[in-house]
């Protein structure tokens, strides 16, 4: 399929794609597949932001009074529209973000899944009832909409992460302003067209309920700094989070941060090695190593190290690298040449720190402008500085361990705390890994890799990963305000704690 056909079938017209004229302000979008220019967009300006926030606030004042199951109906329609557009939007994810076909489709599936989840949730925004210490009194909790939710998303999951946030925010009664990565605005624009179809079928949603802004850090900053943006949900680097988090906190706003990961796997002596190899290869090289959940560190028991490394090396050698639009490709390009440079720098540091590197070199394909690389396997003598740093590329550092306590200590001894896993058939080891003294990550798995989480669980991590939770379980609470209610149905006014105040 040609680029033009993919763009057109995702509903993007030439007028959408060329809203800007080449200038220092315009956002030019290139496909990571071949570097071809896809669009030149007029960005949202800082001067536009107050009006956008005001419109969202007006939408909030209406939307918060719409019954939650009715709000869920909009999300149900969005899920239907996404199902109908899955193929076209998935292909655009491939074109704009460079994911292989199946992962592009998987990303849209993740959007559909969270819509289904949120529809059910729209009838389940439960609060507790609480026993009161006073006679004739009752206590309860009510969950109310919070206000405008800004979603700042990254290039690597250009649409799914918006959907995790938007589906929940909508049923929770909040409008959403979306700032996608300036590397992937087209998938966001195509999603907005799908949203418009759902809104048209819904009928009476307020204007400004779902808005899109296109731009760079200055636009993100205008959203982050506004007191009228109740929630800022930001996905990206720890560096970005360290700017966003304090700014939102300084104005007592709420942030949901989903930042860097440095995810590990421990492979114990009893592990099913063939299964472990499949999990390692998918989670280390899938999405060309550009997931926040990508496997970056492998701790292998010394008794199985050589045999496992041999199996992984063999598997790596068989991986088709190339144009992600082609059926059969498993590793597409890095997002750009800068990412390639970061990867090469990290490998150079690894070498200096005693690493033995297999792979990692640029691959020449028939599309020279793309940043294609062989995934790198790096045998490290210890967990040195470079290993503790997240490099957004397919680099897997392999280390050995002799006792599980040390392996768990090493796995936790990094600044990030997103995802982790152990391969073992030993129940004691598995439970130790999941215990309070085990993995310190937001996600800890047994006999499954660290990436490719389902939407039903809360997604996020600790430490420099930011502490936010999105997606399933009770992550919805992050999008609502909790109100404690005490109701007195007696004819007395007793004070709590037995306090007397008679006059
Ligand atoms: C991300 O990389 O920002 O668990 C999100 C996974 C995906 C989401 C990753 N469901 O790998």
Mind giving me the DSSP string for 331-396? B--BSSHHHHHHHHHHHHHHHHTT-EEEE--B---S-TTSB-B--EEEE-SS--HHHHS--SSSEE
pTM of the model: 0.97
Category of 239 on φ-ψ map: left (φ > 0), alpha (ψ -120 to 50) or beta: alpha
- Quote the CA–CA distance of 110 and 498 in Å, as a whole number: 53
Ligand 1: residue whose CA is nearest its atom 3:
292
- Beta strand 254-258 with 263-267 is unpaired
CA 110 to ligand 1: nearest atom:
10
Contacts with 297 (C-beta within 8 Å, 6 or more apart), sequence order: 262, 263, 264, 265, 383, 387, 396, 397, 399, 411, 414
Q: Name beta bridge partners: 488.
A: 137
* Token reading at 51: 């009006």
Q: What is the pLDDT of residue 431?
A: 98
Q: Calculate how far, in angstroms, residue 362's C-alpha sits from the geometric centre of ligand 1.
A: 25
* Token reading at 256: 């949901």
Q: Calculate how far, in angstroms, residue 267's C-alpha sits from the geometric centre of ligand 1.
A: 22
- The H or E element containing residue 149 is strand 148-152
Residue 141 contacts residue 105 (beta carbons within 8 Å): no
SS3 289: helix
Q: Calculate how far, in angstroms, residue 235's C-alpha sits from the geometric centre of ligand 1.
A: 11
Active site residue 40: no
User: What is the best residue among 153, 441, 459 to mutate for testing ligand 1's pocket, by most ligand atoms within 8 Å of CB?
Assistant: 459
Active site residue 292: yes
Cβ atoms within 10 Å, residue 126: 11
The alpha carbon dihedral of 239, 109, 80, 86 has a sign of positive
Burial of 57 (0-12, 13-18, 19+ CB in 10 A): middle
Q: Name beta bridge partners: 473.
A: none
Catalytic one of 292, 429, 441, 464: 292
CA 453 to ligand 1: nearest atom:
4
Ligand 1: residue whose CA is nearest its atom 1:
292
Ligand 1: residue whose CA is nearest its atom 7:
452
* Token reading at 138: 């009752």
Q: What is the pLDDT of residue 1?
A: 63
User: What is the best residue among 109, 335, 418, 452 to mutate for testing ligand 1's pocket, by most ligand atoms within 8 Å of CB?
Assistant: 452
- Quote the CA–CA distance of 384 and 120 in Å, as a whole number: 46
Residue 36 contacts residue 30 (beta carbons within 8 Å): yes
- Beta strand 27-30 with 37-41 is antiparallel
Helices and strands, number each (H, E), in the chain: 15, 21
- Quote the CA–CA distance of 172 and 119 in Å, as a whole number: 11
CA distances from 445 to 419, 475, 485 (A): 8, 19, 39
Q: Calculate how far, in angstroms, residue 7's C-alpha sits from the geometric centre of ligand 1.
A: 24
Find the radius of gyration of the CA atoms of the chain: 24
Rounded to a whole number of angstroms, the distance between the first and last alpha carbons of the chain is 83
**pLDDT-flagged residues of the chain (< 50):** none
Backbone angles phi, psi at 298, to 5 degrees: -125, 125
Residues with CB under 6 A from ligand 1: 110, 156-157, 161, 235, 291-293, 451-453
Catalytic one of 73, 96, 103, 258: 258
Q: pLDDT for 192-206, tens place per residue?
A: 999 999 999 999 999
- Quote the CA–CA distance of 224 and 442 in Å, as a whole number: 25
Q: Calculate how far, in angstroms, residue 257's C-alpha sits from the geometric centre of ligand 1.
A: 14
- Token pair 């740093």 is at which residue? 389
Residue 92 contacts residue 190 (beta carbons within 8 Å): yes
- Token pair 């490719």 is at which residue? 452
Q: Calculate how far, in angstroms, residue 282's C-alpha sits from the geometric centre of ligand 1.
A: 13
**Helix 49-63 / helix 217-225 crossing angle, nearest 10 deg:** 50
């Amino acid at each position: 399929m040609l680029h033009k056909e993919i763009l057109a079938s995702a509903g993007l017209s030439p007028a959408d794609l060329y809203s800007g004229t080449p200038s220092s302000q315009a956002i030019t979008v290139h496909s990571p597949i071949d570097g071809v220019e896809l669009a030149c967009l007029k960005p949202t300006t800082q001067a536009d932001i107050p009006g956008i926030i005001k419109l969202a606030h007006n939408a909030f004042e209406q939307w918060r009074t719409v019954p939650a199951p009715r709000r869920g109906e909009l999300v149900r329609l969005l899920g239907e529209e996404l199902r109908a557009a899955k193929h076209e939007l998935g292909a655009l994810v491939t074109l704009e973000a460079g994911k292989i076909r199946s992962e592009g489709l998987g990303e849209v599936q993740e959007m559909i899944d969270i819509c289904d989840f949120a529809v059910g949730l729209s009838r389940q925004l439960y609060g507790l009832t609480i026993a009161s210490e006073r006679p004739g009194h009752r206590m309860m909790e009510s969950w109310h909409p919070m206000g405008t939710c800004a979603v700042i998303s990254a290039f690597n999951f250009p649409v799914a992460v918006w959907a995790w946030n938007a589906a929940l925010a909508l049923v929770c009664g909040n409008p959403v302003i979306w700032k996608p990565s300036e590397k992937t605005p087209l998938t966001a624009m195509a999603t907005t067209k799908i949203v418009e179809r759902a809104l048209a079928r819904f009928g009476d949603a307020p204007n400004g309920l779902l808005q899109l802004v296109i731009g760079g850090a200055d636009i993100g900053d205008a959203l982050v700094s506004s007191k009228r943006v109740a929630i800022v949900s930001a996905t990206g680097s720890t560096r970005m989070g360290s700017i966003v988090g304090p700014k939102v906190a300084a104005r007592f706003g709420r942030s949901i941060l989903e930042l860097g990961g440095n995810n590990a796997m421990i492979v114990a002596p009893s592990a099913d090695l063939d299964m472990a190899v499949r999990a390692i290869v998918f989670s280390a090289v899938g999405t060309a190593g550009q997931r926040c959940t990508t496997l970056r560190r492998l701790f292998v028991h010394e008794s199985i190290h050589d045999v496992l490394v041999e199996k992984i090396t063999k598997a790596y050698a068989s991986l088709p690298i190339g144009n992600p639009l082609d059926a059969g490709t498993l590793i597409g390009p890095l997002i750009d040449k800068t990412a390639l440079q970061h990867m090469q720098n990290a490998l150079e540091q690894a070498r200096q720190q005693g690493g033995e590197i297999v792979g990692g070199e640029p691959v020449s394909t028939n599309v020279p402008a793309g940043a294609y690389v062989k995934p790198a396997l790096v045998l490290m003598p210890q967990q040195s500085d470079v290993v503790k740093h997240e490099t957004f590329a397919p680099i897997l550092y392999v280390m050995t361990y002799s006792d599980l306590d040390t392996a768990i200590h090493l796995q936790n001894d990094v600044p990030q705390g997103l995802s982790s896993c152990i391969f073992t058939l030993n129940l004691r080891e598995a439970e130790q890994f999941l215990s309070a003294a085990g993995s310190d990550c937001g996600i800890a798995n047994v006999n499954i890799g660290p990436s490719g989480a389902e939407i039903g669980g809360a997604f996020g991590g600790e430490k420099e990963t930011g502490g936010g939770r999105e997606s399933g379980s009770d992550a919805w609470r992050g999008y609502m305000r909790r109100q404690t209610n005490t109701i007195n149905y007696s004819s007395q006014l007793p004070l709590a704690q037995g306090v007397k105040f008679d006059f």
